[in-house]
Amino acid sequence: MKISIFGMGYVGAVSAGCLAGEGHEIIGVDSVQAKVDLINKGLTPIIEKDIGELIQAAVKEGRLQATTDAAEAVAATDISFVCVGTPSQLNGNLDLKYIRRVCEKIGSALQEKNGHHVVVIRSTILPGTMRSVVIPTLETASGKKAGKGFGVCNNPEFLREGTAVYDFHNPPKTVIGEIDAASGDILAELYQKMDAPIIRTDLETAEMVKYVDNCWHALKVGFANEVGNICKAVGTDGHRVMDIFCKDTKLNLSPYYLKPGFAFGGSCLPKDLRALTYKGKSLDLELPILNSIIPSNLLQIERGLNMILTRPGRKVGVLGFSFKAGTDDLRESPMVEVIERLLGKGYDIRIYDKNVNLARLVGANRDYILNLIPHIAKMMVQSVDDILAHADTIVIGNNDPEFEAAMERISGNQIVIDLVRVAQKQSHEGVYDGICW
C-alpha cells in the first residue's frame, strides 16, 4: 500500500519504519527540513530501539522517503496518517494547531486529487475533535464531503517509548473509528497480519479509548505508590504485596469491576476503604487517590438520585435494592440511601427484590432491616407487577435477570432509570435513561 505519514516525530517515525519494513511504500512528511534530510539519508530522527535499522533498510531498498511537500505526498499515496503532536495548553486543553495545519494541507491536496483517499488520525485527540475540527477542516480545504469525496478514520496508537517497534507489531488491540465502512476496510487491511483484535467502532469511541488507557495507567501507578507508602510505614514490602495482588487475574487484573454504573456498596468495600484510609491518617500519610474513592462513590449516588428527582411524577418503583443481584445484603447498599432520600422528599415508593424477603432474613440482615430501616420494609411488594402498576418512574437497582424481562412490559407513560445496565440499551429521552450510557 502507498502511505503518506504526516509528522516525523516519535509516532510518525516508528510507524514509517515499521510499515516500510512490512513492504509498504512510505512517504514521510514533515515541515522541519532537518528531519526530512535525516530520513532521506537513512538516519532516524528519534532515539528508539530498532527504529534506526528499520529506517536505514527501508531507505536503502527504496520503500521510504521523506519530503516537506504535503501535496506531493498526498498525490502519490492512497492513505495519509496524521501523527503530529497535540501538546497541552496552559489550561490543560489540547493545542490543536498542528492538527489543523496538517488537515488544511491535506485538504488542499485532496482538492486536486481524483482518486479515493483515506485520512487517518493517529494523534491523540479528545472525543468530538474528529467531528468538530478534523472533518470540517478537511471539508473546507478540499471542497469535498467526508465519507463521499474522501475517507476519514481515527486510529489511536498504543506505543510505549523504549519498546515502540515491538508494540507496533504486537499491539494489545487495534482500534479503528470510522465514518464509512469502505475507509475502515482499507485501514483494517493494513493490520490483518497482526495477532491482535481489530475493533471497528465510531469516531468518538476510538478517540476516547486512548484517554481511558492512559488515565488508567496513570491511576495504577499512583495507586501502587500509595499502597507502597502505607506498606513502608507499617513495615512491610510494598513490592511483595503488589506481586501477590497481581496474581489475581479473576478480579484484580480483569474487566470484572470496570463496568460503568452505579455506586459500590456492601459489607466489605466501604468498610475496608475507611479502615485503610484511617490507618493512613494515623501514619500522617497523604493518600489523595485512596481518600478520593468514597467521595467519588457518594457523587455517583447523588447522580443517580438526581436522575430520579428531575423526572415528573411522585410515584417511584424500585426493582432491586440489595447492593448486588443474587444477595439479600442491604448493608451500605447505595439504593437504600437513594430510597431514604426520596422518602425525605415525599415520594410515594414501592420496592421489589425477591432476595430481600423478611421471612428468610437472619442475623445481621434481619437486625438491619427491622431496626435501622423498618420504614423501608413497609414499602416492599411481592412482585414486579406491583411495581409496574404503581410507578411513574421505574428504577433498576441491581441486575437481576428478572428485571430485563420486566422492561418489555413498561407502558408508554413510564420512564426507566437504569443504574446497572440490565439491558443493552442507550438512553432515550423520556423513555429510558442509563446512568453512564
* Residues 221, 87 share a domain: no
* Residues 398, 347 share a domain: yes
* Residues 210, 155 share a domain: no
Tell me which residue range forms the domain holding 126: 2-201
Q: What is the mean pLDDT of the chain?
A: 95
* Residues 232, 186 share a domain: no
Looking up residue 45, the CATH number of its domain turns out to be 3.40.50.720
Is 231 labeled as catalytic in the residue annotation? no
Residue 265 marked in a binding site: yes
Q: What is the pLDDT of residue 323?
A: 84
Contacts of 93 (CB under 8 A, 6+ apart): none
The pTM of this model reads: 0.91
Answer yes or no: is 289 within a domain.
Answer: no
Number of domains in the chain: 3
The per-residue pLDDT for range 228-252, each reduced to its tens digit, is: 999 999 999 999 999 999 999 999 9
* Residues 208, 197 share a domain: no
* Residues 384, 302 share a domain: yes
* Residues 112, 219 share a domain: no
Of 175, 95, 91, nearest to 129 (Cα)?
95
Residue 161 marked in a binding site: yes
* Residues 166, 102 share a domain: yes
Answer yes or no: is 265 within a domain.
Answer: no
Residue 52 marked in a binding site: no
Residue 35 marked in a binding site: yes
Counting every residue written for the chain, the total comes to 437
- Catalytic residue chosen out of the listed positions 83, 215, 268, 436: 268
Answer yes or no: is 274 within a domain.
Answer: no
Answer yes or no: is 272 within a domain.
Answer: no
* Residues 216, 168 share a domain: no
Contacts of 241 (CB under 8 A, 6+ apart): 227, 231
Residue 258 marked in a binding site: yes
Long-range contacts (CB closer than 8 Å, 24 or more residues apart) made by 422-425: 422/396
Answer yes or no: is 32 within a domain.
Answer: yes
* Residues 238, 191 share a domain: no
Of 426, 382, 422, nearest to 400 (Cα)?
422
* Residues 91, 68 share a domain: yes
* Residues 367, 328 share a domain: yes
Answer yes or no: is 291 within a domain.
Answer: no
pLDDT in tens, the chain (437 residues): 999 999 999 999 999 999 999 999 999 999 999 999 999 999 999 999 999 999 999 999 999 999 999 999 999 999 999 999 999 999 999 999 999 999 999 999 999 999 999 999 999 999 999 999 999 999 999 999 999 999 999 999 999 999 999 999 999 999 999 999 999 999 999 999 999 999 999 999 999 999 999 999 999 999 999 999 999 999 999 999 999 999 999 999 999 999 999 999 988 999 999 999 999 999 999 999 999 999 999 999 999 999 999 999 999 999 998 888 888 888 889 999 999 999 999 999 999 998 887 655 666 677 777 787 888 888 999 999 999 999 999 999 998 889 999 988 998 899 999 999 998 889 999 999 999 99
